[in-house]
């Protein structure tokens, strides 16, 4: 990273008998109220254990979902507390609010070395607004602040920025490792550096595409976002998902890639069907000649081979975004093929984004990846070279 240094737990001094407010990113995927992937909980556990071993009392906080400033029962953090108890083997007191006199009292009454989990921060409109009084109310709960929520570091919210400006603040171990690994990709990635991007919407990833064409040697593009590239270049994409209002941006990115000698590799073949259904009849067609009435829902076998060849030659691989609707059996082979290629590559491999991590989990390939980033949007913004507000505020020498 930059010469400025991320403050770490060491910088906080002796934590014995200190109350530490720990911002976590417990924004985990839920299915019918159950946690379907607890990576964001297990990934922050080493920080929590270390703070407890140092004698601290912990107050944990997080957002979950997008409740938009009001309480939403299905987004309460009780399932998180339950999973934390299992992972840490220690009780966690779950409160039903994030701030206020009752919370203040409960935190004061919690014994030394205990863990208290506040309610979903986004139930209060002050969180996303980085409201002064909300940040102050949170700050009053603790002596020092540790931010381990790398996944939320791109949000200038009260619990990310406001609190860090009010308490002695440092990065937790997960935040520290994310910043170290992703900085190494920015500063000295082993070449060839190959980025693999996928997912449904090109608009979500356009700024990443624009920044990455300047940094990587090859940009492999799959998922529905590839159709905007194919259609912008004049291909027939049938009923595939596209964003025509982004064609100009896509053409601009393609021109930029051309001028810098960066390869943008698109699927030559796709798996098409009349609709995204597990029972759909599928056919493999050329990606630039998808018949009317069909939509491309996965990359085809030839595209998997092409992509795998690029991936196999890489020194560094960054992957964010599935190649198709991998949740549905008939459209999972492309994402599986890319996952296997990334997992089997000699390169240093970094994978981020909720869907991509879910896919790796589904294929049992997580252990084969060097760094699983707990940030989706945050890791892409970091790799665009942007200064994340949640990282800047933990950086020594940063004035505001
Ligand atoms: C994420 O999952 O990307 C982070 O937890 C941030 O959530 P958000 O996109 O709702 O701000
Ligand atoms: Mg997000």
State percent of the chain over pLDDT 70. 98
Q: Is 68 a catalytic residue?
A: no
Element (H, E) at 46: helix 45-53
**Alpha carbons within 13 A on the beta-carbon side of 29:** 14
166 is catalytic: no
**What mean pLDDT comes out for the span 299-305?**
98
The answer to whether 86 and 42 are in contact (CB under 8 A) is no
Instruction: Point out the catalytic residue in the list 296, 352, 354, 390.
Output: 354
- Residue 377 among the catalytic residues: yes
pLDDT in tens, 239-254: 999 999 999 999 999 9
- List, for residues 308-325, the tens digit of each pLDDT value: 999 999 999 999 999 999
What is the whole-number distance in angstroms between the Cα of residue 287 and the centre of ligand 1? 32
pLDDT at 4 over 90: no
Structure-token pair, residue 289: 């000649």
Is residue 238's pLDDT more than 80?
A: yes
Judged by DSSP in three states, 149 sits in coil
Ligand nearest to the CA of 153: 1
Only one residue has tokens 């085809």, namely 300
pLDDT at 400: 41
Cβ contact 168:190 at 8 Å: no
Residue 304's pLDDT is 98
Cα-to-centroid distance, 281 and ligand 1 (Å): 35
CA of 164 to the centre of ligand 1 (A): 19
Q: How confident is the model at residue 76 (pLDDT cuts 50, 70, 90)?
A: very high
pLDDT at 1 over 60: no
Residue 371 clears pLDDT 90, i.e. is over it:
yes
The Å distance, Cα 322 to ligand 1 centre, comes to 18
With a 6 Å cutoff on the Cβ, whether 337 touches ligand 1 is: no
374 Cβ below 6 A of ligand 1: no
Model pLDDT for residues 25-66, shown as the tens digit of each residue: 999 999 999 999 999 999 999 999 999 999 999 999 999 999
Closest ligand 1 atom to Cα of 354: 2
Helices 247-260 and 225-232 cross at an angle (nearest 10°) of 80
Cβ–ligand 1 distance for 155 under 6 Å, the answer: yes
Confidence of residue 3 (pLDDT cuts 50, 70, 90): very low
Of the residues 40, 83, 155, 205, only one is catalytic, namely 40
Protein residues near ligand 2, an ion, with CB under 5 A: 377
Q: What is the 3-state secondary structure (H, E, C) of 266-317?
A: CCCEEEEECCCCCCCCCEEEECCECCCCCEEEEECHHHHHHHHHHHHCCCEE
Structure tokens at 281: 């009849």
Residue 2 has pLDDT above 80, yes or no: no
Which of 38, 63, 353, 373 to probe ligand 1 with, by most ligand atoms within 8 A of CB? Answer: 63
The stretch 357-372 carries a mean pLDDT of: 97
pLDDT given at position 398: 47
Q: What is the pLDDT of residue 369?
A: 98
Ligand nearest to the Cα of 155, by number: 1
Let me know if 201 is a catalytic residue. Answer: yes
Element (H, E) at 255: helix 247-260
- On the question of pLDDT at 281 being above 80, the answer is yes
pLDDT computed for residue 396 by the predictor: 80
**210-223 pLDDT, tens per residue?**
999 999 999 999 99
Averaged over 379-387, what is the pLDDT?
A: 95
> Does residue 260 have a pLDDT over 50?
yes
Angle, CA of 113, 115 and 118, to the nearest 5°: 150
pLDDT at 234 over 60: yes
User: What's the gap in Å between 292 CA and the centre of ligand 1?
Assistant: 36
Structure tokens at 184: 């190494």
Whether 334 lines ligand 1, by a CB cut-off of 6 Å, is no
| pLDDT of 397 strictly over 80 | no
The answer to whether the CB of 38 is under 6 A from ligand 1 is no
If 0-12 CB within 10 Å is exposed, 13-18 middle and 19+ buried, where does residue 34 land? exposed
């Amino acid at each position: 990273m930059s010469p400025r240094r991320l403050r770490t737990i060491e910088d906080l001094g002796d934590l014995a008998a200190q109350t530490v407010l720990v911002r976590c990113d417990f924004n985990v995927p839920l299915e019918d109220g159950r946690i379907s992937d607890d990576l964001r909980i297990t990934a922050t556990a080493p920080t929590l254990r270390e703070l407890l071993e140092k004698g601290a009392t912990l107050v944990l906080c997080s957002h979950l979902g997008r409740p938009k400033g009001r309480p939403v029962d299905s987004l309460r953090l009780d399932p998180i507390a339950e999973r934390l108890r299992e992972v840490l083997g220690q009780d966690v007191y779950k409160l039903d609010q994030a701030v206020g006199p009752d919370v203040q009292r409960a935190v004061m009454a919690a014994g030394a070395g205990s863990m208290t989990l506040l309610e979903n921060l986004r139930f209060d409109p002050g969180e996303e607004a980085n409201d002064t009084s909300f940040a102050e109310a949170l700050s009053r709960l603790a002596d020092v602040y540790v931010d381990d929520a790398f996944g939320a570091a791109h949000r200038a919210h009260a619990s990310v920025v406001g609190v860090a400006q009010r308490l002695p603040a440092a990065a937790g171990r997960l935040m520290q490792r994310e910043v170290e690994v992703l900085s190494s990709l920015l500063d000295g990635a082993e070449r060839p550096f190959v980025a693999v991007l996928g997912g449904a919407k090109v608009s979500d990833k356009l700024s990443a595409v624009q920044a990455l064409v300047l940094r990587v040697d090859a940009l492999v593009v799959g998922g529905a976002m590839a159709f905007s590239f194919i259609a912008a270049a004049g291909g027939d994409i049938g009923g595939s998902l596209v964003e025509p209002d982004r064609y100009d941006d896509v053409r601009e990115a393609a021109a930029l890639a051309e001028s810098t000698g960066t390869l943008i590799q698109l699927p030559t073949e796709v798996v098409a069907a009349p609709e995204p259904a597990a029972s759909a009849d599928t056919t493999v067609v050329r990606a630039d000649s998808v018949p009317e009435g069909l939509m491309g829902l996965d990359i085809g076998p030839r595209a998997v081979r092409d992509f795998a060849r690029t991936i196999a030659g890489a020194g560094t691989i960054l992957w964010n975004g599935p190649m198709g609707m991998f949740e549905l059996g008939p459209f999972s082979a492309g994402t599986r093929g890319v996952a296997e290629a990334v997992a089997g590559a000699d390169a240093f491999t970094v994978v981020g984004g909720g869907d991509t991590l879910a896919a790796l989990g589904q294929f049992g390939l997580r252990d084969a990846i060097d760094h699983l980033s707990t940030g989706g949007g945050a890791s892409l913004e970091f790799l665009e070279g942007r200064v994340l507000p949640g990282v800047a505020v933990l950086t020594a020498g940063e004035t505001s």
